């Protein structure tokens, strides 16, 4: 999912809700109606909407943030015998197969699943429900290239062209969910045998590798508010919608031919202490009310098909038509090997 300075502010607001009872003034809610939502550090939601849900449902939701999608998945697997919550949100399509193979989630089908989320159904077990889509793509600072009288890159091949040396920043696939999605995109593009040569070319062309999206986008990318030195970054197809200039036009562009589909899921945890209320929370996550605020709160695309994108997104950040994807079983079987290969290439 695209993360911006706006998202960081919203995440702080969301953190203030974590662990707080919002039912009946905060002190009288019954523990039998308390649900722990385990999620990643980029969780953000409209505060008023979230409070209204808790008040009307009678459910107190405690939010527990646990790193990025990879760290979240690892923690859910390690604690599956004694779950750290009732419902989890944020396990994405690059890690979903691991969570399912480890039996982290219980089967549940939301009444609204047929209104779009089932388009992204991971398998037939109904243990995961798609909440949002955040395709990972190369983003370029079009203004930087105009100012330097250089044509902007148009795809993967340009990143290893010497005339673009020192211009790209990516995230480490071993520590970052978008970094892993970018790696998988290169595997899809160049094949299981061809992608290492591309990464060797990236290194030779002075690519910068950051540990996470926040550092890469907000500090090193020239097209963000951080105004860093590098005009190419691995980010999201939705990112240009948050970089609209005074003229009403986006200052950046996503290269849609480099997009790799990243779907975020929610699911009721197997062995949850309050599975019934956790199901109601999941129902809310796929409700039209929640889905309508997904673009502006978390800067990703809603999974429901009956929710319109904000006007600015329709031109600046359209949902890619044909993003790359690899079969889940191929990702599951090779993820760790590919990540280790990539690290060895970059460190060698």
Assess whether 124 and 225 both reside in one domain.
Answer: no
**What are the tens digits of pLDDT across the range 103-141?**
999 999 999 988 887 788 888 899 999 999 989 999 999
Domain count, the chain: 2
What is the spatial distance between Cα 106 and Cα 87, in angstroms, rounded to a whole number? 10
- Residue 99: how many CA atoms within 13 Å on its side-chain side? 34
Residue 67: which region, alpha, beta or left (left: phi > 0; alpha: psi -120 to 50)?
Answer: left
Question: In the structure encoding, which two tokens stand for residue 286, read together?
Answer: 């796929």
What does the pLDDT read at residue 294? 93
Assess whether 57 and 105 both reside in one domain.
Answer: yes
Assess whether 141 and 121 both reside in one domain.
Answer: no
What is the rounded radius of gyration, in angstroms, for the C-alpha atoms of the chain? 20
Q: How much is the average pLDDT of 76-86?
A: 96
What CATH number did the domain enclosing 306 receive?
3.40.190.10
Q: Is 77 exposed, middle or buried (0-12, 13-18, 19+ CB in 10 A)?
A: middle
Assess whether 71 and 141 both reside in one domain.
Answer: no
Assess whether 230 and 341 both reside in one domain.
Answer: yes
Asked if 19 and 45 touch (Cβ cutoff 8 Å), the reply is no
Q: How far is CA 274 from the centre of its chain?
A: 27
Domain boundaries, position 247: 136-260+319-347
pLDDT over 70 (residue 177): yes
Q: How much is the average pLDDT of 320-324?
A: 91
Q: Which of 168-172, 225-229, 330-334 has the highest mean pLDDT?
A: 168-172
Assess whether 203 and 339 both reside in one domain.
Answer: yes
Assess whether 237 and 304 both reside in one domain.
Answer: no
């Amino acid at each position: 999912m695209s993360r911006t300075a706006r998202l960081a502010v919203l995440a702080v607001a969301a953190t203030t809700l974590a662990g707080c009872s919002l039912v009946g003034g905060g002190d009288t809610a019954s523990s039998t109606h308390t649900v722990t939502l385990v999620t990643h550090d980029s969780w953000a939601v409209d505060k008023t909407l979230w409070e209204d849900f808790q008040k009307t449902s009678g459910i107190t939701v405690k939010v527990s943030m646990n790193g990025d999608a990879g760290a979240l998945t690892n923690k859910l697997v390690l604690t599956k015998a004694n779950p750290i919550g009732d419902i989890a949100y944020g396990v994405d399509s690059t890690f979903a197969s691991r969570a399912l193979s480890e039996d982290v989630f219980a089967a549940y089908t939301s009444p609204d699943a047929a209104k779009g989320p089932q388009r992204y159904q991971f398998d037939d077990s109904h243990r995961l429900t798609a909440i949002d889509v955040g395709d990972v793509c190369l983003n370029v600072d079009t203004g930087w290239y105009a100012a330097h009288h250089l044509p902007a890159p148009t795809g993967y091949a340009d990143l290893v062209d010497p005339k673009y040396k020192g211009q790209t920043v990516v995230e480490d696939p071993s520590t970052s969910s978008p970094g892993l999605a970018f790696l998988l995109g290169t595997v899809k593009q160049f094949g299981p045998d061809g992608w290492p040569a591309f990464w060797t070319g990236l290194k030779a062309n002075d690519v910068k590798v950051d540990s996470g999206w926040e550092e890469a986008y907000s500090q090193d990318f020239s097209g963000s508010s951080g105004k860093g030195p590098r005009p190419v970054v691995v980010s999201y197809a939705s990112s240009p919608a948050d970089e609209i200039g005074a003229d009403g036009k986006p200052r950046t562009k996503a290269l849609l031919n480099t997009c790799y589909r990243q779907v975020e899921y929610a699911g009721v945890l197997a062995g949850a202490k309050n599975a019934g209320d956790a199901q109601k929370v999941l129902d809310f996550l796929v409700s039209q009310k929640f889905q309508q605020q997904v673009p502006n709160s978390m800067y990703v695309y809603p999974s429901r098909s009956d929710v319109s994108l904000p006007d600015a997104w329709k031109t600046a950040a359209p949902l890619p038509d044909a993003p790359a994807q690899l079969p889940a079983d191929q990702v599951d079987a090779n993820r760790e090997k590919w990540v280790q290969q990539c690290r060895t290439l970059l460190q060698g």
